[in-house]
Structure 1
Amino acid sequence: MPNLRQLLSILLPPLLLGCSPPPSTTTNDINPVKTISYTVVSTGDGDTLKVQSQDGTSSKVRVGCIDAPESSQEYGPEAGQRLKVLLPSGATIELREIDIDQYGRTVAEIYSEGKSVGLQLVREGYSVVYHRYLDGCSDTADQYVAAEEEARSQRLNFWSQSDPVMPWDYRRGKR
């Protein structure tokens, strides 16, 4: 018997795909959701960028709940270019901080003009859902899963390959 997440991913994708939570300070039943505004300084690969806070402090940010192909991997350069188009230098974004990773980067859901950038990258096939860390996006997890299923079924970008290597496997040398 399918669990609730499986049922939702089958029955609700049309309703979920366009529904990212707006960046704001709100409270839900689980925990407070707080977003903070930053300015994009630069983008790196398809899931990393450098931002500046309102007080002038710079930091590196990893887009939460997704994983983009590495720069040396097929569709890696395209993923990096797409992130640069979505988040040009000087753009104002909102971050919903999730964690700090092992490299000291802030891991966060990123919103531009009220829309989730990570979800957009997954929807367009430039990144994949990082299921290992999807619990950091518990309020939007089903949207990510549904977007990936749609991109995969349409064979968009990364998913157009006959046998795509997941970014985490690529990093481990399983090329």
Structure 2
Amino acid sequence: MPLSLRPLAALLLAMASIAASPAALANTEVRATVLSIGDGDTIRVQQSGKRITIRLACIDAPEMAQAPDGANARRYLQSRLRLGSSVTLRPQTVDRFGRTVAEVISGVNLNLALVEDGQAFAYRRYLGQCDAKEYLDAEARASRRRTGVWRVPGGITRP
């Protein structure tokens, strides 16, 4: 490589590493294809030829062992996300399990819809990257309607 191109190559390499960092993921949107739905807050997608596990950001859905709520949350997500459908991801970070944490958009913000319809809780510990007020308001509405996880006063045991 000619000497004059080395600084440019170094700059491009640095920019690529910044773009790959979790902090740089915020405010980006990418398209992906739904491959499978694991539970109420985990899906697998294909994006740019890679299979990626997505943990839905800012929510916590009941675990599958929390019958019947875990299965209900998964069925709800399956009804809203067809396999092979295209979604928009708003990645926020990568979690300790290597999953991309993202809001999933398919006509509507599905993360928020899960909370609004009582299929998941707003995950207070991780609301920083999302519109916290929007998620908390959706949870309050679901609680008032006593729908899904809120069918019992105070809601089920959080996952």
Partner of 1:8: none
TM-score by length of 1: 0.73
- Residue 161 of structure 1: how far off its partner (Å): 2.3
Q: What amino acid sits opposite 1:147 in the alignment?
A: A
Structure 2 unaligned residues grouped into runs of 5+: 1-24
Counterpart Cα distance in 2 of 1:110 and 1:91:
12
Q: 1:107 to 1:32 in 2, by over 3 A?
A: closer
Partner of 2:27: 33
Partner of 2:143: 152
- Residue 32 of structure 1: how far off its partner (Å): 6.3
Aligned residues: 133
1:51 maps onto 2:42 in alignment? no
Partner of 2:157: 165
TM-score by length of 2: 0.80
The partner residue of 2:120 within 90, 109, 127 is: 127
Alpha carbons 2:26, 2:91 under 8 Å: kept: no
Partner of 2:72: 78
Q: 1:154 to 1:51 in 2, by over 3 A?
A: same
Q: 1:76 to 1:32 in 2, by over 3 A?
A: closer
Counterpart Cα distance in 1 of 2:126 and 2:92:
10
Partner of 2:10: none
Counterpart Cα distance in 1 of 2:82 and 2:122:
23
Q: What amino acid sits opposite 2:129 in the alignment?
A: G
Alpha carbons 2:86, 2:106 under 8 Å: kept: yes
The partner residue of 2:104 within 110, 121, 129 is: 110
Q: What amino acid sits opposite 1:121 in the alignment?
A: L
Q: What amino acid sits opposite 2:33 in the alignment?
A: T
What is the CA deviation profile of residues 8-42 of structure 1, one whole-angstrom value per residue up to 9, with x for unaligned ones?
xxxxxxxxxxxxxxxxxxxxxxx962210000000
Structure with higher helix content: 2
RMSD (Å), alpha carbons: 1.4
Counterpart Cα distance in 1 of 2:150 and 2:137:
14
Counterpart Cα distance in 1 of 2:139 and 2:112:
9
Q: What amino acid sits opposite 1:142 in the alignment?
A: K
Q: What amino acid sits opposite 1:46 in the alignment?
A: G
Partner of 1:98: 92
What is the CA deviation profile of residues 74-131 of structure 1, one whole-angstrom value per residue up to 9, with x for unaligned ones?
3110001111111110110011111101110000011012x10000000000000000
